[in-house]
Amino acid sequence: MASETTAGTIAPATSDDGVLGFSRAQLAALGVLVAFLAIAPFFLYPVFLMKLLCFALFACAFNLLIGYVGLLSFGHAAYFGMGGYIAGYTAKAYGLTPEVAVLCGAVVAGLQGWVFGWIAIRRQGIYFAMITLAMAQMVYFFCVQAPFTGGEDGIQAIPRGSLFGAISLSSDMTMYWFVAAVFLIGFLLVHRVIHSPYGQVLKAIRENEPRATSLGYRTDDYKLVAFILSATLAGVAGGVKSLVFGIATLTDVHWSMSGEVVLMTLVGGLGTVFGPVVGAAVIVTMQNYLAEMGAWVTVIQGAIFVAVVLAFRRGIVGEIANALKVKL
């Protein structure tokens, strides 16, 4: 990562100013985002929006690693899917309330991230990508065989339950506000982490790991904490998704899901705060409209990968930010 500073760069260095680490342009963009969250369910189908927000949070979690630590995890479906399975199972079998079920999913995903991250951070670059992919494939095979996941059928008819045991989430509109709140908290958390002193060290590691080491930082510890955090948030996203749809299946632990979150983040803009959200919106919308085209969706996704990597590496938000000469 270190040698890149111009067009091929993963992300520009950020300078902190303004409120809560948000620059003025970012505050404006945040305002637009919050306004969209508030208005959208009255115009768009809430279930579609909830799906979008789950993937947006998933992509934000992924972006924390690739955009700010420079680690490309190619196995994030393992945490997303496991979060979904655990949340779905605890909600259905033990009747836990949704917030506790999601929390359980997040904790398990985080523990999994701890173990896998501990193993994977021994290598960098493409080896890191291959290792995380292989680990995720192991989780996939585990989920195919483990009794609690329901194998090919998945866990079905997961109840949404009542938030804090008091507010029923059975209506899509109530559920939407819950999902939107979870997303916003996760989004702000990632942003807060990136702009904390800890986040500055992460960026230093991304730019030049040997130098960060020479300054006395235990870079492996920093990377591991970022990995755990990212896995936990991916677990939250997966858990919420399984509650929204009432189902947790093998699709969410499959390697193609890992590829999708890479694509979302890449399209939106690696290492931008708002990029993963925009990228998730673009890809989920596209899948929605192209659903009946079958395998062509895969071809189109592949083509987008190729086009973005060859011609348009900053992604949508990165290009806008570059044109406006601001950080987004």
Partner 1 sequence: MLEFIESITGVPTPLLFGQLLLGLINGAFYAMLSLGLAVIFGLLNIINFTHGAQFMMGAFVAWMLLNWLGLGYWWALLLAPLIVGATGVIIERTMISRLYKLDHLYGLLLTFGIGLMIEGVFRNEFGSSGLPYRIPAELQGAWDLGFMFMPIYRGWVVLFALICCLATWLVIEKTRLGAYLRAATENAALVQAFGVNVPRMITLTYGAGVALAALAGVLAAPIYSVNPQMGTNLIIVVFAVVVIGGMGSILGSVLTGFGLGIIEGLTKVYWPEASATVIFVIMAIVLLTRPAGLFGRA
Contact residues for partner 1, defined by CB under 8 A? 1, 4, 8, 10, 72, 119-120, 122-123, 125-127, 129-131, 133-135, 137-138, 141-142, 144-145, 255, 259, 262, 266, 294-306, 309-310, 313
Among residues 71 and 158, whose Cβ is nearest to partner 1?
A: 71
Among residues 242 and 272, whose Cβ is nearest to partner 1?
A: 272
Residues 301 and 279: their CA atoms lie apart, in Å, by: 12
Residues 266 and 82: their CA atoms lie apart, in Å, by: 23
Of the candidates 171, 137, 124, the one whose C-alpha atom is nearest the C-alpha of residue 253 is 137
- The conformation of residue 155, written as its DSSP 8-state character, comes to B
What is the nearest approach in angstroms of partner 1 to the Cβ of residue 211?
18
Residue pair 39/256 in contact by the 8 Å Cβ criterion:
no
> What are phi and psi for residue 162, nearest 5 degrees?
-120, 130
Among residues 137 and 242, whose Cβ is nearest to partner 1?
A: 137
Among residues 198 and 305, whose Cβ is nearest to partner 1?
A: 305
> What are phi and psi for residue 218, nearest 5 degrees?
-80, 90
What is the nearest approach in angstroms of partner 1 to the Cβ of residue 72?
5
Cross-strand bridge partners of residue 248: 155
What is the nearest approach in angstroms of partner 1 to the Cβ of residue 277?
20
Distances (CA, A) of 296 to 48, 52, 122, 151, 321: 21, 21, 38, 27, 32
Among residues 191 and 203, whose Cβ is nearest to partner 1?
A: 203
What is the nearest approach in angstroms of partner 1 to the Cβ of residue 21?
26
Among residues 105 and 259, whose Cβ is nearest to partner 1?
A: 259
Residue pair 74/132 in contact by the 8 Å Cβ criterion:
yes
What is the nearest approach in angstroms of partner 1 to the Cβ of residue 256?
8
Residues 257 and 277: their CA atoms lie apart, in Å, by: 16
What is the nearest approach in angstroms of partner 1 to the Cβ of residue 281?
20
